[in-house]
A and B are shown apart, each in its own frame.
Chain A
Amino acid sequence: MAMRATLRCLSANFSPRLPLLSSAGRDNRAARLRWVSGTRRTFSSCSVLSTALKFTEKHEWVQVEGGIGTVGISSYAQDALGDVVYCGLPEVGQRLEQMDEFGALESVKAASELYSPLTGEVTAINTQLAENPGLVNKDCYAEGWLIKMTIEKPEEVDALMDQAAYDKFIKSLEE
């Protein structure tokens, strides 16, 4: 059960206060096509997504821009997890094969593994999640992003589900 990826512990001193519940991330299953840029981001100040989100069967999304893929989990996934209290993410520079475990999210005393949607190298991790892990629930498609990585095999992106296919996939799970 040991994770093959090295975890970088981003947890600040966790206090047992209840994380704030927000319905924003939970209700919105549609992809957010407007990219919110902010000064805390490590990347450029594009305000519109150049490509749409692609999804994996493990409910992660990938958004490609300038050869870099940003990875997060979908609204369906954050709802199934419950309130995230901790994000264990890899080190910048770590190389990941598609399907490699790259970290874990903790919610309701459950540590759920994360799997890399693509093959590539980690270029950035969302350090906001150390102090504010609840962003994964509240804003899963934007501020709650997990990692950014290079894309060694673009065909892997092509093979992922688009929004319509993912919505259909979710429906089939709920039946």
Chain B
Amino acid sequence: MQGSRPLVRVVRLGLVSYQEGLRLQQVYVDRHRSGPAHSLLLCEHPPVYTTGIRHQPYPASRLDPLRLLGAEVHRANRGGLITFHGPGQLVCYPVLDLSGFRKSVRWYVAQLEKTVVSACGSLGVTATTSPHTGVWVGDNKICAMGIHCGRYVTSHGLALNCNTDLSWFSHIVPCGIEGKGVTSLSRELRRDVSVHEATPHLLAAFGEHFHCELSEDGEYSVLN
């Protein structure tokens, strides 16, 4: 077994509500109870704003106007402040047991950032990291991150703007960082870049930075 790379199963959920995404993540988190069951959930969400464990800056009075825009609003037990998910954004939830990789969330988040930087690079976009967690093109965030870790099992993850309607972000201060903007692969490349196009680049980069084997056995999520 020595030297063998961990196996991570890719699960394509398609367009699912944020709530359904949470439920499915929990299903995959729970699978780790009976042994390694690393998974990489991929999906898109209908428009939704989410906040993390630091929800105090976002009382109902601040969140209710967002619902009037036609988006859902959810609290999540992830790190990071407020963000938006919507169609055209590649959402990736790695559900890994860090015992099979490295037991450090700091390392894990750094690897996720490198994964996205590589994926952007292979699409022709030069992206960088910064002291603010996430992936940036200059002062504009192209990919948000916020994760949860319990008993070394990760959930939540990252959201890469492909051809997202970025005007949704104008109603919030994304990730609580004033003075910065957002961007997308489509905006940077000045052509339409879909989630479908970006996904293989993200998967290849993930396999590279996490030294793992990705499996796509065609079995979709168990909806029980």
Contacts and interface: CB of A to CB of B under 8 A. Distances in A.
Given A1-B77, A16-B176, A113-B151, A108 B53 contact: no
Contacts of A1: 22, 25-26, 29, 77, 148, 150, 155
A96 to B, nearest CB: 16
Nearest to B180: A16
B147 interface: yes
Contacts, number: 98
Contact of B176 (A14, A112, A113): A14
Given A109-B145, A111-B53, A113-B151, A16 B29 contact: no
Interface string A151-169: 0000000000000000000
A46 to B, nearest CB: 34
Interface string B121-134: 00000000001111
A111 B80 CA distance: 8
Contacts of B2: none
A77 B25 CA distance: 25
Main SS of chain A's interface residues? mixed
A2 B77 contact: yes
B77 A106 contact: no
A109 B109 CA distance: 8
Nearest to A86: B54
Interface string A109-150: 111110100000000000000000000000000000000000
Interface stretch (B35-43, B99-107, B163-171): B99-107
Interface of A: 1-3, 7, 9, 11, 13-14, 16, 18, 79-82, 86, 88, 101, 104, 106-113, 115, 173
Given A106-B79, A109-B80, A110-B148, 18 more contacts: A1-B29, A2-B77, A3-B77, A7-B53, A13-B57, A79-B104, A80-B107, A82-B105, A107-B105, A108-B105, A108-B106, A108-B109, A108-B133, A110-B79, A110-B105, A110-B147, A111-B146, A112-B150
Interface of B: 22, 25-26, 29, 52-57, 77-81, 103-110, 131-134, 145-151, 155, 176-178
19 contacts: A16-B132, A80-B103, A80-B106, A80-B107, A81-B104, A82-B109, A104-B53, A108-B133, A109-B80, A109-B109, A109-B145, A110-B146, A110-B147, A111-B53, A111-B146, A111-B149, A112-B105, A112-B150, A113-B148
